[in-house]
Amino acid sequence: MLPSSLRTVLRWTAPLLLAAASFHAAAQAGTTLRIGFQKSASLLTYQKSNGSLEKRLAPLGVAVKWVEFPAGPQLLEGLNVGAIDVGFVGEAPPIFAQAAGARFVYIGFDPAAPEAEAIVVPKDSAVKSVADLKGRKVALNKGSNVHYLLVKALEKQGLKLTDIQPVYLPPADARAAFERGAVDAWVIWDPFLAAVEKQSGARLLQDGRGLVNNYAYYLAERGFAEKSPQVIQALFDDTQTQAIALKANLKAAAAVIAPLQGLEPDVVEKSLSRYQFGVKPLTAQVAAEQQKIADTFHGLGLIPKAIRVADALPTGAKVANAAR
């Protein structure tokens, strides 16, 4: 049975409670839920593979369309231009997107997974600590969750982004640059992290533990969130059910996911072990942590203006004041 906390998702949009009370009245026959995902989002990849969400939404007359993106920033662009209705990304992309004027709302989050992102170097690298990165080339996907990890890791050593040479590349290009020695380090998330550790012997320099939370967020186009609470609830119900099944048997889930991600099952299993799954409504604490990231990026000049995370929360969300 779905945890009671997840049933509160509908309460975030208080003006829609009367409509939500009537399941059939709000069913949107003939519509399509367009989900933006990345292959690295293992749970969504698992859901896509088994068709569980399609079966759950069929009684509402809602079809499902899966739209793949290489990383979070590109997914947010898709959400902003109306190519998708719902997406799943890390901490940083929503902040960059909100600063650029994107129209979306946070509708849920997954638990912290600080071990699922890290700074890695080649196994024979002379770099032994984050401090040794000074003046060196570091690859990362600009505006992704690892952007914040790099900032915090450097900060802990008394360094700034200007003390290194950031090389902004999407995961596939970054992996190629890393393996041919064009960059000295790579900041990346799972399952790409697990893959490069196993396949290239990459050495972990620093993961997120003690530095970042590495939450992941479910986002929706604001109009869709306001008009389709039942569809969002069905998505979350299915996500929770599939998360329980996945965690109950990581090996079996990895065997399903691996060929879809183009990875070996043991790599995927390692990646899955470092993630926590189970979508929940935003809490005041999580919203406040997201605001800290936004303030940090603004202070560093990474986003052009200060933003209020509260402005991207659903109408009536009780955590709004906690996020300024």
SS (H, E, C) 109-173: EECCCHHHEEEEECCCCCCCCHHHHCCCEEEECCCCHHHHHHHHHHHHCCCCHHHCEEEECCHHH
pLDDT score of 316? 56
pLDDT score of 283? 87
Residue with tokens 């007359």: 61
Q: Do domains 4-112+215-323 and 114-207 have the same CATH topology?
A: yes
Output the CA torsion 242→246→248→252 (10° steps): 130
Chain-centre distance of CA 318, in angstroms? Answer: 23
DSSP, residue by residue, 17-64: HHHHT-HHHH--TTEEEEEEE-TT-HHHHHHHHHTHHHHHHGGGTEEE
Domain boundaries, given as residue ranges, for the chain: 4-112+215-323, 114-207
**Cα distance between residue 71 and residue 37, in whole Å:** 8
- Read off the tokens for 46: 């698992």
- Read off the tokens for 189: 């998330």
Average the pLDDT over 138-167 and give the result. 94
- Supply the CATH classification number for the domain 114-207: 3.40.190.10
Residues linked to residue 167 through DSSP beta bridges, in sequence order: 139
- Read off the tokens for 312: 């991207």
* pLDDT, tens digit (0-9, with 9 covering 90-100), for 94-115: 999 999 999 899 999 999 999 9
- The count of other CB atoms within 10 Å of the CB of residue 200 is 15
Report the SS3 class of residue 244: helix
User: Is residue 26 pLDDT above 90, yes or no?
Assistant: no
pLDDT score of 317? 53
pTM of the model: 0.81
pLDDT score of 57? 96
Residues linked to residue 218 through DSSP beta bridges, in sequence order: 88, 108
Instruction: Give the rounded percent of residues in the chain with a pLDDT score beyond 90.
Output: 77
Residue 254's nearest CA partner among 197, 192, 191, 171 is: 191
Residues linked to residue 67 through DSSP beta bridges, in sequence order: 36
pLDDT score of 19? 30
Strand stretches in 146-298, DSSP E: 165-168, 185-189, 203-207, 216-221
- Residues with Cβ within 8 Å of 248's Cβ and at least 6 positions away in sequence, in order, are none
- Supply the CATH classification number for the domain 4-112+215-323: 3.40.190.10
User: Is residue 167 pLDDT above 60, yes or no?
Assistant: yes
> Which long-range contacts (C-beta less than 8 Å, at least 24 apart) are formed by 292-299?
293/91, 293/92, 293/95, 293/148, 294/95, 294/98, 294/99, 296/148, 296/151, 297/92, 297/95, 297/96, 297/99, 297/147, 297/148, 297/151, 298/99
CB-hemisphere CA count at 13 Å for 92?
A: 25
Q: Counting beta carbons within 10 angstroms of the beta carbon of residue 163, is it exposed (0 to 12), middle (13 to 18) or buried (19 or more)? A: middle
**Cα distance between residue 240 and residue 2, in whole Å:** 7
- Read off the tokens for 150: 């790099």
Contact 186, 175 (CB under 8 A): yes
* pLDDT, tens digit (0-9, with 9 covering 90-100), for 223-273: 999 999 999 999 999 999 999 999 999 999 999 999 999 999 999 999 999
**Cα distance between residue 94 and residue 109, in whole Å:** 12
Q: Which helix (H) or strand (E) holds 84?
A: none
